[in-house]
Amino acid sequence: MSLSGPVWTIAALVALVAFVVYAARRGEAMERERKARLSRARRASATVLSTKQSSGALRYGGRHGPEVILELLVDGRAVTARWYVFELGLARIVDGATVAVRVDADDRDIVYPAEDWAELSLSQRHAIQPRAR
């Protein structure tokens, strides 16, 4: 009787468990970093220059939010932001509208929505994560 089958099965399960534990801890670290950066972000207002719907979307708490690419004018600078905008917020992001934002203290090109009708998209969250510890 060969033990190679059960040994490989056990090794694969151990590797899978190790990956799940690593991913969970990394996700927690990324969320802590995002919250810390958001707490340091400066409040500002931005003018919506243009919007374009992207292919992504988010379902969260019973709400659906398509990913929207926004060109915003913040402090006299044009900045591109990617947000998930929930139903209540879609009417607020028309060209020329003013929206409340938070500008990242470490990177002025990262602009967070300051209201609960939008969330920073996963692609933008990923952009700030290489600095997570």
Domain annotation covers residue 57: yes
Domain annotation covers residue 121: yes
Q: Which domain holds residue 73?
A: 38-131
Helices (H), the chain: 4-40, 87-90, 122-128
Q: What is the pLDDT of residue 62?
A: 74
Confidence of residue 48 (pLDDT cuts 50, 70, 90): very high
Reported as a single tens digit per residue, the pLDDT across 87-122 is 888 888 889 999 999 999 888 888 999 988 888 887
Domain annotation covers residue 28: no
What is the separation of C-alpha 86 from the centre of its chain, rounded to a whole number of angstroms?
14
Domain annotation covers residue 21: no
Domain annotation covers residue 30: no
pTM of the predicted model, to two decimals? 0.66
How far apart (Å, rounded) are the C-alpha atoms in residues 129 and 34?
Answer: 8
The structure tokens listed for 121 are 């998209």
Confidence of residue 11 (pLDDT cuts 50, 70, 90): confident
Q: How many domains is the chain partitioned into structurally?
A: 1
How far apart (Å, rounded) are the C-alpha atoms in residues 80 and 131?
Answer: 20
Residue 68 near residue 87, CB atoms below 8 Å:
no
How far apart (Å, rounded) are the C-alpha atoms in residues 69 and 36?
Answer: 24
**CATH number, domain with residue 127:** 2.40.50
Looking at the predicted structure, is the pLDDT value of residue 72 above 70? yes
